């Protein structure tokens, strides 16, 4: 819980040093976490699914975000706290203000998965911002000491500049036309790769999960067994409804509202214990309890789909991306070869052989 007070006093922004961290957290959570959630629709959803080989195992529920303290009636929270403007200072680091737009730009540069994690975890967002501020402090100290004028730094910056110019220019010269590939090329590639475009057998499953941590004591194990026995008794009653029983009993609470429905799962994603049981089940049948390291799983097979070749419409976008990437690489090589052909270099073979000898000597010394 975070109680926030206005960060600024007087006509110009002024920060209290002993409360900078708290200001950072409050503004970041209230203003910037909302911006993170708005930039990627998936940020407000559940965490990404577990690794494929554990797909039938329940995920631990995501930690609830830390609540923000409600403003007292006598001192309502300023509107600016709910939506931080781009130019509004969020912190003061090394004698200068850091604006909300700077922080948003920093957060935009990280990967989508990390942004999603930051949106879900205010503590992680605070930690990340502090790392950003620490970086800025080090950069300021280095700049004040004219570190950028060190010969080694100057040389490295020059190499980075040249590399950036080279790569971006060559990339722009290698981009294929907008209309590449055409439909004929897409169809040809699809036909040539049909053997690799196989959708494995799929299973539509639902499950009731009873949690039992690995290494749990005897009391916990007996409690889990009793719950499993009770569920089995309910499932064996006439006209038993698996969906309703799952809603009431499963420990996989994020799927409770769906009656434990796991959706369609490709065969390779099933853990071996589940796979071996499901393969022999009839549609709409329910398995006996399957004991895994994390607890008991009672699985219902809702429907199956056989292995089949994926339709062109399902893989078209992927094929287009691959064909364009291949064409970029071909264009890149052709452009470099053409540059050398039009301007063939004159090489001093004697001098080059001496450099090769130096490389050999240095490699031997390194060993």
Q: Are residues 129 and 24 in the same domain?
A: yes
Q: Are residues 250 and 336 in the same domain?
A: no
Q: Are residues 141 and 25 in the same domain?
A: yes
Q: Which CATH number does the domain housing residue 252 bear?
A: 3.10.50.40
Instruction: With respect to residue 359, please indicate whether it lies within any of the assigned structural domains.
Output: no
Q: Are residues 193 and 321 in the same domain?
A: yes
Instruction: With respect to residue 1, please indicate whether it lies within any of the assigned structural domains.
Output: no
Do 275 and 267 contact (CB within 8 A), yes or no? yes
Q: Are residues 318 and 190 in the same domain?
A: yes
Instruction: Return the structure tokens found at 239.
Output: 């006209």
- From CA 275, how far away is CA 161, in angstroms rounded? 54
Q: Are residues 46 and 68 in the same domain?
A: yes
User: Residues 127, 130, 134, 135: is their CA dihedral positive or negative?
Assistant: positive
In the chain, the number of structural domains is: 3
Q: Which residues fall within 8 angstroms of residue 326, CB to CB, at 6 or more apart?
A: none
Q: Are residues 67 and 143 in the same domain?
A: yes
**What pTM does this model have?**
0.55
Q: Are residues 144 and 212 in the same domain?
A: no
Instruction: With respect to residue 11, please indicate whether it lies within any of the assigned structural domains.
Output: no
Instruction: With respect to residue 357, please indicate whether it lies within any of the assigned structural domains.
Output: no
Residue 300: count other Cβ atoms within 10 Å of its Cβ. 24
Structural domain range at position 326: 161-197+314-344
Q: Are residues 131 and 190 in the same domain?
A: no
- From CA 334, how far away is CA 315, in angstroms rounded? 29
Instruction: With respect to residue 352, please indicate whether it lies within any of the assigned structural domains.
Output: no
Q: What is the DSSP string of 173-206?
A: HHPPPTT-S-HHHHHHHHHHTGGG-EEPPEEEEE
Residue among 96, 97, 124 nearest 36 (CA): 124
- From CA 13, how far away is CA 90, in angstroms rounded? 10
The rounded average pLDDT for each run of 10 residues, N- to C-terminus, in the chain (367 residues) is 35 40 45 50 37 45 38 41 66 84 88 88 91 90 94 96 97 96 96 93 97 94 96 96 97 94 96 94 96 96 96 95 97 96 93 92 83
Q: Are residues 97 and 166 in the same domain?
A: no
Predicted pLDDT of residue 365? 82
What is the edge-to-edge ordering of all strands in the sheet holding 261-266? Answer: 261-266, 202-211, 295-305, 290-292
Please name the residue ranges forming H helices in the chain: 20-27, 33-39, 79-82, 100-108, 112-120, 122-144, 151-174, 183-192, 218-235, 242-249, 272-278, 312-342, 349-366
Predicted pLDDT of residue 83? 54
Q: Are residues 187 and 60 in the same domain?
A: no
Q: Which among 293, 309, 325 is the end of a domain?
A: 309
Q: Check residue 83 and report its DSSP letter.
A: S
Instruction: With respect to residue 8, please indicate whether it lies within any of the assigned structural domains.
Output: no
Instruction: With respect to residue 331, please indicate whether it lies within any of the assigned structural domains.
Output: yes
Q: Which among 149, 183, 208 is the end of a domain?
A: 149
**Backbone dihedral region for residue 294 (phi beyond 0: left; psi -120 to 50: alpha; all else: beta):** alpha
Q: Are residues 189 and 285 in the same domain?
A: no
Q: Check residue 13 and report its DSSP letter.
A: -
DSSP H or E stretch at residue 261 = strand 261-266
Instruction: With respect to residue 74, please indicate whether it lies within any of the assigned structural domains.
Output: yes
- Phi/psi of residue 292, nearest 5 degrees: -120, 180
- From CA 127, how far away is CA 267, in angstroms rounded? 40
């Amino acid at each position: 819980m975070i109680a926030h007070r206005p960060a600024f006093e007087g006509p110009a922004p002024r920060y209290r040093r002993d409360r900078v961290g708290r200001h950072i957290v409050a503004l970041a959570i209230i203003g910037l976490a909302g911006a993170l959630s708005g930039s990627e629709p998936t940020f407000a959803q559940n965490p990404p699914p577990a690794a494929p080989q554990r797909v039938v195992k329940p995920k631990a529920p995501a930690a609830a975000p830390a609540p923000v303290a409600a403003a007292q009636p006598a001192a309502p929270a300023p509107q600016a706290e709910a939506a931080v403007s781009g130019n509004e200072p969020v912190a003061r680091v090394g004698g200068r203000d850091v604006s909300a737009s700077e922080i948003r730009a920093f957060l935009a540069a990280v990967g989508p998965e990390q942004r999603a994690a930051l949106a879900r975890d205010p503590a992680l967002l605070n930690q990340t911002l502090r790392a950003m501020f620490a970086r800025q402090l080090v950069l300021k100290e280095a700049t004040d000491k004219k570190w950028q004028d060190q010969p080694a730094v100057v040389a490295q910056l020059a190499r980075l500049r040249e590399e950036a110019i080279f790569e971006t220019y060559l990339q722009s010269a290698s981009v294929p036309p907008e209309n590449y590939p055409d439909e004929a090329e897409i169809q040809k590639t699809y036909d040539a790769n049909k053997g690799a475009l196989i959708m494995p057998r799929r299973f539509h499953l639902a499950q009731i999960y009873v949690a039992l941590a690995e290494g749990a004591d005897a009391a916990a194990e007996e409690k889990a067994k009793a719950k499993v026995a009770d569920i089995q008794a309910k499932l064996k009653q006439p006209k038993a409804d698996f969906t309703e029983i799952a809603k009431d009993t499963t420990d996989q609470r994020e799927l409770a509202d769906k009656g434990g429905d796991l959706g369609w799962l490709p065969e390779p994603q099933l853990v071996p214990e589940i796979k071996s049981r499901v393969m022999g089940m009839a549609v709409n049948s329910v398995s006996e309890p399957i004991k895994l390291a994390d607890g008991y799983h009672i699985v219902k097979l809702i429907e199956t789909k056989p292995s089949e070749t994926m339709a062109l419409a399902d893989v078209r976008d992927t094929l287009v991306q691959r064909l364009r990437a291949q064409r970029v690489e071909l264009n890149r090589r052709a452009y470099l070869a053409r540059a050398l052909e039009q301007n063939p270099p004159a090489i001093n073979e004697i001098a080059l052989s001496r450099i090769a000898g130096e490389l050999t000597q240095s490699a031997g010394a390194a060993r």
